[in-house]
Amino acid sequence: MTAINPHKAARLRRNVLLYVAAALLLLIWVVPILWAVIVSLKSESEVLAYPPQLIFQPTMANYRDAVSGGFSILPSFFTSFILSTATTILTVLLAVPAAYAFARLSLPGKRALGFYTLVTQMIPPVGLVIPYFLILNKIGWLDTYQGLVTVFLTFSLPFAIWLMVSYMEDIPKEMEEAAFLDKASRLQTLWHVILPQVRGGIAVTVIFVFLNAWNEFLFSVQLSGNHVRPVTVAMYNFVSVEQTLWAKLAAAALIAMLPMIVIGIAAQKQIVKGLTVGAVKGGGRR
Amino acid sequence: MGVGTLPRREGARIEGATGSASAVAGRHSRTPFQKEEIFAAFLAGPALLVLVVTTTFPLVYLIWNSFQNINLAMPFMNGFAGLDNYTQMIADGNFWHSLELTAIYAISSVLLQVVIGLGLALLVMQIPRGQGVFRIVAILPIVLAPVVVGLFWRTLMLAPNFGIVDFAVKALGFGAVNWLGAPAPALISVIMIHTWQWTPFAFLVFLASLASLPPDVYEAARIDRAGPVQRFIHITLPLIRPALVIVVIMRSMIALSAFAAIFAATRGGPGTATEILNLYAYRTSFVELNFGYGSALAVALLVITLAVSGVLFALRTARVSQ
């Protein structure tokens, strides 16, 4: 799709215009995040100055407050870490074998079960948070790790199964057949042949499940409390109680989101792959 | 969330595996049939069991509750209610209002995401170098928690007097707009916020889809002197239609269950100006403590979500089989 314009000058002008247009659009995605960074480096009074100031003496005080003292989000940070890690481990342990069965083995009622998994993925979260509140309240699991991890499985598990199925389907069948000819058992084949092939897919699944658990809000805000409070809830409490401390909020929010931003940039290729694995392949698979 | 409320549930391949069931069965027919089925059941069993317990059981409980009076504020009224919650819903102006907002919110944000995302992908495809920068920047909104996105926009971007959108609008000579404080601007704002966060998703999918198109088709079209618009309508659009349909389906599901960003930005307000159906179900249950009626509202949202996805999937298969 590159230009076939033979005139170099026209092509250059066109490229410059393209870059300017693209850069403007790029800016729209960066500005809110960049502005949060700037605000987090200001004092509270500088934040309120009008017109907004770009030149100021940067301070790290907001970051110090965000990690220590009464405004610290570190406890929530660790809570989110435990919740997301536990959810990710459980999800992968359950989803990978299931995906293998769905993608490559004969399983009675597979069509129906695949459809069932798909439908569970489409349940609106608000439809689950209401019964979960009542159920967890009854069994005393409100504001507990096991309660929230159980609820997180409702969106991570169907998602992970479908993602892994699409990776499992890509493995050439000859690989398995070769292993069978060598008299490997099905379990040995899964462990020594299939799993190494889908390592990339498992990495994508781990990233997405962790990310979604870390960013979850609706279940967290309603089913957690003072004991198990994830960062997304800590953020929200921050602003609704301390309306005016916006520089501290910005600093705390950036710290809370830092792991996701780092994962996002470091695993950029895997994330794009995970986002597009179905959409792009949908074309070739008809 | 997450990727919010998901990015909650992003990126899963929605269709496919079921179709290859018979092929897979045939492929392994040389091995003892029953042994394989037992092994498969052993592998899939735990996940399916967990799914039944964590999703289906609560869902049945939700439907059961929707036929009950469960009001923590008035526990003496609790008991079987029959269809009362549903007849109340049909007569409830707030329900129809939230339904209308849900439709406006979902349709306009999905439309904007697809149009802007596709336009930007086509633009970036033309750029000889530096596409990688766009891929990295596009990841940023996607990995932020929607609640944080909602807070950023509420406090830093749209706040009167020092939000920079407000500042920019005033600097351009327009009057001050109370972005989140007046009904119409608040609705536009929450649609803008959703579009800001999720257009990158559509953009990345379309970019990958465009990159995978065969270049020789375009060569042939150029030799036939097809213009850029003709090439887009007759070549690009049909070729990326699978990606287009998947994006519309996935984004519709997410838009219909959007919660955190609106909750953080407006809490459904001012009044009920941005209270889409799931925020209304949430408020009814957890603020007014009327869990019976809240459950009925959630059931309505569930039925609508499944109906919309059913229609979109039907459209997809209908077109594919043509």
Task: Calculate what percentage of chain B has a pLDDT beyond 90.
Answer: 44
Give the pLDDT mean for B120-134.
85
pLDDT class for A240, splitting at 50, 70, 90?
A: low
Cα separation of A251 and A60, whole Å? 9
Minimum distance, in Å, between the CA of residue A162 and any CA atom of chain B: 6
Contact of A210 with chain B, judged by CB distance below 8 Å, is answered with: no
pLDDT score of A284: 35
Mean pLDDT across the stretch A133-145? 95
* Residue A113: φ, ψ to 5°: -70, -35
Q: Which residues of B touch A280 (CB under 8 A)?
A: 205, 208-209, 212, 243
Mutate to test the interface with A, among B3, B31, B42 (most CBs of A within 10 A): B3
For residue B318, is pLDDT > 70? no
Q: Is the pLDDT of residue B213 over 60?
A: yes
pTM of the model: 0.88
**Beta partners for residue B2, in sequence order:** B5
Q: pLDDT per residue over B7-28, tens digit each?
A: 333 334 434 444 444 444 445 4
Q: Do A97 and B209 touch (CB under 8 A)?
A: no
pLDDT band at B111 (very low <50, low <70, confident <90, very high): very high
Listed residue (B2, B256, B247) closest to B105, CA to CA: B256
Yes or no, beta carbons of A235 and B18 under 8 Å apart: no
Does B2 score more than 80 pLDDT?
no
SS3 content of chain A, % helix, strand, coil (to 5): 75, 0, 25
Calculate what percentage of chain B has a pLDDT beyond 70.
Answer: 87
Mean pLDDT of chain A: 86
**Chain-chain contact of A18 with B123 (C-beta, under 8 angstroms):** yes
pLDDT at B8: 34
Whole-number Å distance between alpha carbons of A28 and A33? 10
A222 in B contact zone (CB under 8 Å): yes
Q: Is the pLDDT of residue A148 over 90?
A: yes
DSSP secondary structure code for residue B154 in this structure: I
Query: Does A93 score more than 50 pLDDT?
Result: yes
* Structure-token match 């569930």, residue found: B302
User: Which whole number is the average pLDDT over B142-150?
Assistant: 93
Contact B16 A253 (CB under 8 A): no
Report the pLDDT averaged over residues A144-152: 96
pLDDT band at residue B32 under the 50/70/90 scheme: low
Nearest Cβ partner of A222 from B200, B239, B286?
B286
Inter-chain CB proximity A105 and B28 less than 8 Å: yes
Of A236 and B279, more confident: B279
Q: Complex ipTM, two decimals?
A: 0.89
pLDDT at A142: 94
Categorize the per-residue pLDDT at A281 as very low, low, confident or very high, splitting at 50, 70 and 90: low
pLDDT-based confidence at A279, cuts 50/70/90?
low
Q: Is the pLDDT of residue B172 over 90?
A: no
Q: Provide, as residue numbers in chain B, all residues whose Cβ is less than 8 Å from the Cβ of A105.
A: 24, 28, 36-37, 39-40, 43
Residue A150 contacts residue B58 (beta carbons within 8 Å): no
A7: closest CA of chain B, how far (Å):
16
Q: What is the pLDDT of residue B218?
A: 76
- Contact between chains at A264 and B1 (C-beta distance less than 8 A): no
Mean pLDDT of B153-181: 79
Q: What is the mean pLDDT of residues A90-97?
A: 96
For residue A71, pLDDT over 80 is answered with: no
Q: Using 50, 70 and 90 to split pLDDT, how confident is the model at A112?
A: confident
Is residue A242 over pLDDT 70? no
Q: Please state the rounded mean pLDDT for residues A118-127.
A: 89
Provide the shortest C-alpha distance from residue A237 to chain B (in Å).
Answer: 10
User: What average pLDDT does the segment A46-70 reach?
Assistant: 82
| DSSP string across A22-46 | HHHHHHHHHHHHHHHHHHHTS-HHH
Taking chain B, what is the end-to-end CA distance rounded to the nearest angstrom? 36
Cβ-nearest to A249 among B151, B301, B302: B151
Q: Which residues of B touch A15 (CB under 8 A)?
A: 127-128
Coil, strand or helix at B257: coil
* Among B12, B36, B309, beta carbon nearest to A278: B12
